[in-house]
Amino acid sequence: ANFSEQVVESFPSDISTGIYYGWACVGNGDVHKMVLSIGWNPFYKNIKKSVETHIIHTFKEDFYGEILSIVIIGYIRPEKNFDSLEALISAIQEDIEEAKRQLDLPEHLKLKEDNFFHLREGEIVNH
């Protein structure tokens, strides 16, 4: 799930590029573990900064146009380039496993229930 350029531009300018983990919620749905990439994705030679969310859940249908709410909990590693698509895929799988381990910790699990994910309809918060 990629954020629009407008949302990416509203991210704090001092946030480091790299791979993060946290919680994500689509619309008013359930809260799931996620991995977040912030940066230029050097493997794909992007010229614009992007923020891409990988929700660790299989959805039954597309959710284009839905509100995506995220809470970033921690940092996994810096952004880097890869020699091959296979190396990139392997790193992504390692990032997902690290995110799962971290988010299972009690201090991170409790944030899954944060009121941020249960806003009243039409209320948007940008922390």
Q: Counting Cβ atoms within 10 Å, is residue 34 exposed (0-12), middle (13-18) or buried (19+)? A: buried
Q: Is residue 52 annotated as a catalytic residue, yes or no? A: yes
Q: Out of 5, 9, 52, 94, pick the active-site residue.
A: 52
Q: Which residues contact 67 (CB under 8 A, 6 or more apart)?
A: 26, 27, 124
Query: Which of 40, 62, 59, 67 minimizes the C-alpha distance to 51?
Result: 40
Residue numbers annotated as active site? 52
